[in-house]
Chain A
Amino acid sequence: DAKTTQPTSMDCAEGRAANLPCNHSTISGNEYVYWYRQIHSQGPQYIIHGLKNNETNEMASLIITEDRKSSTLILPHATLRDTAVYYCIVRVGGRDDKIIFGKGTRLHILP
């Protein structure tokens, strides 16, 4: 079963920052938080990942709380092309490496 919970859907105005929350209260110390998104009719696309520090790349920022029980993905200037389903995933790693998808958040960017 997925170890994360996310809101079913969210709206964000174009040009604004989109903040997508995720709860992962049962995360273990060696498990990473990964974010993917799936644009309609495409395979999921990697966005960003982190362990306990905040991370930033060219696509997004990831803020992880100090207790690591929740995180927020931030798209700083959302565009219409960011409309997608966003998945927050806890990756086990090691010999049992695999990722289990939850239901994700359907993000609608409004013009």
Chain B
Amino acid sequence: SAVISQKPSRDICQRGTSLTIQCQVDSQVTMMFWYRQQPGQSLTLIATANQGSEATYESGFVIDKFPISRPNLTFSTLTVSNMSPEDSSIYLCSAAGAGGAYGYTFGSGTRLTVV
């Protein structure tokens, strides 16, 4: 089955700084997504990462705060900008149809703590 790798797996960052999270899929996929999971909560969709065009953001999420790149069909990055403690969450990358799988495949996530 397809593998999605995220880097870093965890990080502790100072408020006001930015962190870029990388997501690598081991097969070409049409659709990639970024989710946030706050402590003890379910997953919230941040945006759809579109290859070759601007990401499509869900309500409550903006490009200035969460810029996303998708340069090709296997790779995407999410940046969490100007971080505050409220951004402390797990950030997960997902891909649809990776390796021919049904549904979505998820990475293991990036655990971010902002101090």
Contact = CB atoms under 8 A, between A and B. Distances in A.
B103 A36 contact: yes
B33 interface: yes
B61 interface: no
Size class of the contact patch on chain B:
20 to 34
Contact of B106 (A34, A45, A91, A98): A45
Contacts of A43: 4, 92, 94, 106-109
B41 to A, nearest CB: 8
Interface string B55-94: 0000000000000000000000000000000000000101
Nearest to B103: A46
B109 to A, nearest CB: 6
A80 to B, nearest CB: 21
Contact of B42 (A34, A45, A104): A104
Interface of B: 4, 31, 33, 35, 42-45, 48, 92, 94, 96, 101-109
27 contacts: A34-B103, A36-B103, A42-B108, A43-B4, A43-B94, A43-B107, A43-B108, A44-B43, A44-B92, A44-B104, A44-B106, A45-B106, A46-B101, A46-B104, A46-B105, A49-B102, A49-B103, A85-B42, A87-B42, A91-B103, A98-B31, A98-B33, A99-B45, A99-B103, A99-B104, A101-B45, A102-B42
